[in-house]
Structure 1
Amino acid sequence: MRIGVFTDSYKPYVGGVVRSIEIFTEELKQLGHEVYIFAPNYPGLPEEEDVFRFPSIPSTYKGFYLGLPFSTRLEEFLNSHPLDIIHVHSPFILGRLGARIAKKLDIPVVFTYHTLYDQYTHYVPLIKDLSKEFTRKVTVSFCNQCDLVITPTQIICTHIENMGVKSNIRWLPTGIDLTEFSSLDRTWLKKKFGLDPGEPVLLFVGRAAKEKNIPFVIDGFAKILEQYHKASLVIVGEGPETLNLKKYVKELALSERVFFTGNLSRVDLVNAYGGADLFVFSSATETQGIVIAEAKAAGLPVVAVNAFGVANMVSDGEDGYLVAMDRQAFSEQIMNLLKDDELRLCLAKRAVENAKQFSSRLCAQKLVQYYQELLDTRLTKTGAKAQ
């Protein structure tokens, strides 16, 4: 089938939505389907055969461009690349354009609910100053115009149902390429930063933004250092809070034990997972948290704040622990694992096993099944009308 993906967020921007689109696109193509991406343009990008770029303008969020929902080339492109189904990844700008095109072409439209938009109104293009309540109404209304709404975790499925979404909802996580984690260089991380091979390393991966709640991790780590003087915290990612976080670390006199890597290449990121001892996560606004699945695939037990999608990503007491939004409880749980090598190893083995349920191939096959069900339903309705 021929799939059109409309998104407000795409490469070279780095983020969870972009990663999800990349993973599913690669798998769908390997399964024999055609995928065309409709996304904002960025300065200096080369042309890509399967990517249609809209004119764009820089947003107030550093490094993020807003696609303008019009182009003189769009109709010609759609005529030469006829679509069977449209999958949108935003309820705004280009997502809404995709939904309008689907209606015009009389083809199904699918929406993946990646983000708790009412928790991110400071980032959402054009409506950042509006209320959370209004944002909920906008997103619920958009969901109810779609043939299928996909959520990355079951708990978010229930959440949007409670918000008032009446459309068909299925939950399907973004998968991970398990082969990436089959030959890890577990020495890379400690060699990179000159760390003692025998001392523990905690790892956080995520955008350096307020909603990721990274100061919570830093505060918890400060308590851990009281007992583990040579422990280290590695923070992977870049974002608007990077400078503030570095300043905060300096104020706490932790600069020699907390390391900021910025964005890493895919190979280096995978090896960073492999070289850590524990994965720590503090965001309370995730719909999934794909980095948790990646950490588990690398054999890292997880200690995370128990909130929204993260609660579906960690099997509490089996491959990690979910804790309340309490710094003391967070640091104590981490220290319990650092003290008990046998327990940590047991959780690590289970983490690898549990990560298999997030196989990108299996997730893509399930998505194709959902697409086909929509197409079959549309065909049945068309046939009934013709009679």
Structure 2
Amino acid sequence: MDLLMLSDVYFPRVNGVSTSIRTFARALAGKGHAVTVVAPDYGPDSGQERHDGQGEFELVRLPARVVFFDPEDRLIRAPDARRALDALARRRWDAIHIHTPFRAHAMGLRLARRAGAPTVETYHTYFEEYVGHYLPWLPAPATRFFARRASRWLCDAVDHLVVPSEQMAQVLQRYGVRTPASVIPTGIDLAEFAGGDGARFRAKHGIEPDRPTLVTVSRLSAEKNIAFLLEVVRRLREPFPRLLFLIAGEGPDAPRLRRLVAEWGLDGHVRFFGNLDRRTELLDAYRAGDAFVFASPTETQGLVLIEAMALGVPIVSTAVMGTATVLREARSALVAEADVDAFAGQVARLLRSPELRAELAAHGPRDAQAWGGERMAARMEALYAGLARGAPATARAEGAR
């Protein structure tokens, strides 16, 4: 099949959407499909896709400008979008997959009308919970109303929806969305998360081998709830005076988080590492932790939990939205309430028990097998095939589950 993916975000912007697009594009290309990804150009930092000889896909970068309220992001310039649309309309597409609701969404709908191709859209982001962080000057009821209404409008414009979790599907149903939907999580490339050397990471950064260490990997934005994890570290500082918390990732909330670390006297207990190379040092950072901690209440997937599982890192996490799906049958994690004392109690329990850490670590790779990217790509492939042959919407939804 000839498959087109359109997005307003992609690497080097590190987030779950970028990861999802690349994971599916590589897996589908590896199955012999021709995959084209259209995404913004981030300038000199855009870099090049690295391939290992398999899963190669076409990446088209379009000129874009900085988004004023979120300088990490880009908006594809309208004239360049129109020119790209003319070129893309001359090609044949079996399915057009839209990943974001901005310029990419408009391009996808216009192209579908011109090319006569079916449209799929993944609802990656729980906008109702996110929008208030980026438009704080608007009343919360107004932002929630806007997010719900916009979601209905966007979802009703496409032929089929993909949602990463059953919980997100239920949210869209409550919004009144009636577009057929399939629950297809992203999963991860298990081969990418089979290495890592925690001892090497500790030695490189001067961390003693026996120092109790927590790690999280996340975009540093308010909705990721990193401040909550800092409170947990603050609570555990007395029973574990040598405790260290490693934070890998970047984002707009970084200055506030650094201020909290200073205000709470946690300078000796918290280290920020920014974005680490996903093929090398990030794996080492995961493996350097005695536990992986996570507490975001807005995740539609929770890919970092699956990555931690694959690397055999014991997990302490809340279970909300997508993370509830990932952790539902997991034997490699302790689920904690979204309460500082309760969460700290689960972390303390894990740190005090080498036997429990070893047990959870052993289960991790087995838990991760259920979330392999190849399995999820096969489900997406079946969905595209149904759309391409014009199968009824209900049949497509059932067949992809």
Fold in common (TM above 0.5): yes
For 1:182, the equivalent position in structure 2 comes to 194
Does 2:173 align with 1:161? yes
For 2:61, the equivalent position in structure 1 comes to 53
Residue 84 of structure 1 aligns to which amino acid in structure 2?
Answer: D
Question: Contact (CA 8 Å) 1:311, 1:322: kept in 2 or not?
Answer: no
Alignment match of 1:292 (pick from 289, 305, 321): 305
Where 2:389 maps in the other structure, the secondary structure is: helix
For 1:337, the equivalent position in structure 2 comes to 350
Question: Contact (CA 8 Å) 1:316, 1:322: kept in 2 or not?
Answer: no
Where 1:149 maps in the other structure, the secondary structure is: strand
- Residues of 2 paired with 1:77 and 1:56: CA distance? 18
CA RMSD of aligned residues (A): 2.3
State the 1:54 CA deviation: 3.0
Does 2:286 align with 1:307? no
Question: Contact (CA 8 Å) 1:302, 1:314: kept in 2 or not?
Answer: no
Moved more, 44-53 or 359-368: 44-53
Alignment match of 1:280 (pick from 268, 276, 293): 293
Where 1:202 maps in the other structure, the secondary structure is: strand
For 1:22, the equivalent position in structure 2 comes to 22
Residue 162 of structure 1 aligns to which amino acid in structure 2?
Answer: R
For 1:64, the equivalent position in structure 2 comes to 73
For 2:104, the equivalent position in structure 1 comes to 94
Where 1:63 maps in the other structure, the secondary structure is: strand
Where 2:13 maps in the other structure, the secondary structure is: coil
Where 2:252 maps in the other structure, the secondary structure is: coil
Moved more, 59-68 or 75-84: 75-84
- Residues of 2 paired with 1:123 and 1:65: CA distance? 18
Where 1:377 maps in the other structure, the secondary structure is: coil
For 2:94, the equivalent position in structure 1 comes to 84
- Residues of 2 paired with 1:46 and 1:356: CA distance? 31
Consecutive unaligned residues in structure 1, runs of 5 or more:
381-387
Moved more, 259-268 or 62-71: 62-71
Where 2:334 maps in the other structure, the secondary structure is: strand
- Residues of 2 paired with 1:151 and 1:342: CA distance? 37
Consecutive unaligned residues in structure 2, runs of 5 or more:
50-56, 394-401
Alignment match of 2:185 (pick from 170, 173, 178): 173
State the 1:30 CA deviation: 0.9
Where 1:120 maps in the other structure, the secondary structure is: helix
Residue 326 of structure 1 aligns to which amino acid in structure 2?
Answer: D
Alignment match of 1:134 (pick from 109, 128, 146): 146
State the 1:83 CA deviation: 1.5
For 1:384, the equivalent position in structure 2 comes to none
Change (3 A) 1:345 1:165: same
Question: Contact (CA 8 Å) 1:234, 1:260: kept in 2 or not?
Answer: yes
Question: Contact (CA 8 Å) 2:133, 2:223: kept in 1 or not?
Answer: no
State the 1:78 CA deviation: 1.5
Residue 94 of structure 2 aligns to which amino acid in structure 1?
Answer: D
State the 1:379 CA deviation: 10
1:62-105 per-position Cα deviation (integer Å, ceiling 9, x unaligned): 22111134435324421553221100011222123212311332
Change (3 A) 1:298 1:47: closer
Question: Contact (CA 8 Å) 2:12, 2:47: kept in 1 or not?
Answer: no
1:14-45 per-position Cα deviation (integer Å, ceiling 9, x unaligned): 21101111111111111111111122222235
State the 1:321 CA deviation: 2.2
- Residues of 2 paired with 1:69 and 1:28: CA distance? 29
- Residues of 1 paired with 2:348 and 2:392: CA distance? 58
State the 1:55 CA deviation: 3.2
Question: Contact (CA 8 Å) 2:131, 2:147: kept in 1 or not?
Answer: yes
- Residues of 1 paired with 2:307 and 2:286: CA distance? 8
Moved more, 277-286 or 162-171: 162-171
Question: Contact (CA 8 Å) 1:274, 1:298: kept in 2 or not?
Answer: yes
- Residues of 2 paired with 1:157 and 1:124: CA distance? 24
- Structure 1 vs Structure 2: percent identity of aligned residues? 32
Residue 115 of structure 1 aligns to which amino acid in structure 2?
Answer: T
Question: Contact (CA 8 Å) 1:69, 1:97: kept in 2 or not?
Answer: no
Question: Contact (CA 8 Å) 2:316, 2:336: kept in 1 or not?
Answer: yes
For 1:385, the equivalent position in structure 2 comes to none
Question: Contact (CA 8 Å) 2:89, 2:111: kept in 1 or not?
Answer: no
Task: Calculate the TM-score normalised by the size of structure 2.
Answer: 0.88
Where 2:356 maps in the other structure, the secondary structure is: helix
- Residues of 1 paired with 2:138 and 2:116: CA distance? 32
Question: Contact (CA 8 Å) 1:23, 1:360: kept in 2 or not?
Answer: yes
Which residues in structure 2 correspond to 1:231-250 (within 5 Å)? Answer: 231-250=243-262
- Residues of 2 paired with 1:50 and 1:201: CA distance? 41
Residue 305 of structure 2 aligns to which amino acid in structure 1?
Answer: I
- Residues of 2 paired with 1:144 and 1:5: CA distance? 19
Question: Contact (CA 8 Å) 1:279, 1:303: kept in 2 or not?
Answer: yes
State the 1:192 CA deviation: 2.6
Change (3 A) 1:25 1:265: same
Which residues in structure 2 correspond to 1:199-218 (within 5 Å)? Answer: 199-218=211-230
1:313-363 per-position Cα deviation (integer Å, ceiling 9, x unaligned): 114772212222210001001101111222222122222211011111111
Question: Contact (CA 8 Å) 2:92, 2:115: kept in 1 or not?
Answer: no
Question: Contact (CA 8 Å) 2:330, 2:367: kept in 1 or not?
Answer: no
Alignment match of 1:119 (pick from 120, 126, 129): 129
State the 1:220 CA deviation: 0.4
